[in-house]
């Protein structure tokens, strides 16, 4: 798995060092493990949860060796991820009974929203699905231009208005246009300003409400895009966006550029929202459906 190479090497190296010369899982080993997890951006709460579970196992089995630590840690992390992620898919899929399937994409500027939308559009288009994009991030001209670049690259229609227009109006147009074009998937980009919580909440609520005039149960997925290389910042953004709207899934980007993929484990655990996609590069093919087994393996192989 090219993309996650960095997380893997780093985590495994550290883990090997933590147990070097030790045959049993003692307090020292657990302290080191705690530090490794925190420094891999798993987050303090989730780290403590994992350490507690391992302590319980050590308690039950006094002879638990460091040789088994890998396996146990793997089980515990996969178990934690299972609490929120069915996470067994490997293919890009949308439910068959929702047409058009509307995905509203939220996240701060720079997190990788536009890129993720482009990559997603490409995956769905490749399956022969009709995809329409809506440029409802009307706050920045660059956001509209960038989405246009992706629409051209993937060769899918885009609905846009000029900069500064009402995001809800663009979303409305995009859904109307999508319905009339018999779209299977409509992906709506939204503004990523975290100006203040109330404004963000009002704006996202309005976009949703207006979309529902066209497709009654839209959006079917509210996808929050988080930059996985920003560690605690990503946690903070998750907090703000989940307070502002009901986020139904996560895309964690830039995991190719970080040795700290642990953010995926921590965020999924803390916010109880499934990670659906991970970004592992800037290219059109560099988006993967999150699979918890592959992910955990990429840490421990």
Stretch that binds ligand GDP, among 39-47, 87-95, 110-118, 121-129 (CB under 6 A): 110-118
Residue 193 marked as a ligand binder:
yes
User: Judged by CB under 6 A, which of 58, 77, 104, 111 binds ligand GDP?
Assistant: 111
Nearer to ligand GDP, 107 or 167 (CB): 107
Cα–Cα distance between 1 and 161 in angstroms, integer?
39
282 lies in the binding site for ligand GDP (CB under 6 A): yes
Q: Among positive and negative, which fits the CA dihedral 279, 89, 155, 182? A: negative
Check whether 52 is labelled as a binding-site residue: no
What span, in angstroms and rounded, lies between the C-alpha atoms of 212 and 216?
4
164 annotated among ligand-binding-site residues: no
Pinpoint the alpha helices (H) of the chain: 5-19, 27-39, 44-60, 69-82, 113-126, 141-154, 167-180, 197-211, 232-244, 263-271, 292-300
Q: Taking CB under 6 A as the criterion, which residues in 151-190 touch ligand GDP?
A: none
Assess 283 for contact with ligand GDP (CB under 6 A): no
104 binds ligand GDP (CB under 6 A): no
223, 248 Cβ separation under 8 angstroms: yes
Q: Is 110 a residue that touches ligand GDP (CB under 6 A)?
A: yes
> Which residue among 169, 193, 201, 257 contacts ligand GDP (CB under 6 A)?
257
**Which x/- pattern over 232-251 shows residues binding ligand GDP (rule: CB under 6 A)?**
--------------------
Task: Single out the segment in contact with ligand GDP by CB under 6 A; choices: 57-65, 74-82, 196-204, 281-289.
Answer: 281-289
State yes or no: residue 268 binds ligand GDP (CB under 6 A): no
Q: Is 266 annotated as a binding residue?
A: no
Q: Report the residue from 10, 40, 46, 115 that binds ligand GDP according to the rule CB under 6 A.
A: 115
**Is there binding between residue 41 and ligand GDP (CB under 6 A)?**
no
152 is in an annotated binding site: no
Minimum CB distance to ligand GDP smaller for 7 or for 146: 146
Contacts of 301 (CB under 8 A, 6+ apart): 8, 12
In the complex, what is the shortest distance from the CB of residue 173 to ligand GDP, in angstroms, rounded to a whole number? 20
The packing angle between helices 141-154 and 113-126, to 10°, is: 20
The span from the CA of 297 to the CA of 5, in Å, is 11
Q: Taking phi first (over 0 means left), then psi (-120 to 50 degrees means alpha), and beta for anything else, what does residue 107 get?
A: left
Q: How far is the CB of 150 from ligand GDP (least distance, A)?
A: 9
Interacting span for ligand GDP (CB under 6 A) from 79-87, 88-96, 102-110, 293-301: 102-110
Is 27 marked as binding a ligand?
Answer: no
Q: Check binding of 138 to ligand GDP (CB under 6 A).
A: no
Helix (H, G, I), strand (E, B) or coil at 107: coil
Beta strands 221-227 and 101-106: pairing type? parallel
Q: Residue 152, Cβ neighbours under 10 Å: how many?
A: 11
CA 36/CA 62 separation, integer angstroms: 23
> Residue numbers of the site for ligand GDP (CB under 6 A)?
107, 109-115, 146, 192, 253-254, 256-257, 279-282, 286
């Amino acid at each position: 798995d090219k993309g996650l190479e960095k997380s893997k090497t780093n985590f495994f190296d550290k883990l090997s060092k933590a147990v070097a010369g030790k045959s049993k899982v003692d307090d020292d080993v657990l302290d080191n493990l705690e530090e490794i997890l925190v420094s891999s951006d798993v987050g303090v709460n989730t780290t403590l949860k994992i350490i507690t579970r391992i302590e319980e196992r050590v308690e039950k089995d006094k002879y638990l060796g460091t040789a088994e630590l890998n396996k146990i840690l793997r089980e515990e992390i996969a178990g934690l991820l299972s609490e929120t992620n069915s996470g067994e898919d490997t293919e890009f899929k949308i439910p068959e009974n929702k047409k058009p399937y509307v995905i509203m994409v939220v996240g701060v500027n720079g997190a990788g929203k536009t890129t993720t939308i482009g990559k997603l559009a490409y995956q769905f288009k490749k399956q022969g699905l009709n995809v329409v994009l809506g440029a409802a991030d009307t706050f920045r001209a660059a956001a509209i231009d960038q989405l246009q670049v992706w629409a051209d690259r993937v060769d899918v229609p885009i609905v846009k208005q000029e900069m500064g227009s009402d995001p809800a109006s663009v979303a409305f147009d995009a859904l109307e246009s999508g319905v009339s074009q018999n779209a299977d998937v409509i992906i709506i980009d939204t503004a990523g300003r975290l100006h203040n919580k109330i404004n963000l909440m009002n704006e996202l609520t309005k976009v949703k409400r207006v979309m529902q005039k066209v497709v009654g149960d839209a959006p079917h997925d509210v996808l929050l895009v988080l930059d996985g290389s920003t560690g605690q910042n990503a946690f903070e953004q998750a907090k703000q966006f989940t307070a502002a709207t009901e986020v139904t899934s996560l895309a964690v980007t830039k995991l190719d550029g970080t040795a700290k993929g642990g953010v995926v484990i921590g965020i999924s655990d803390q916010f109880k929202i499934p990670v659906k996609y991970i970004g592992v590069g800037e290219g059109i093919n560099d988006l993967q459906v999150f699979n918890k087994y592959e992910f955990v393996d990429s840490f421990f192989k």
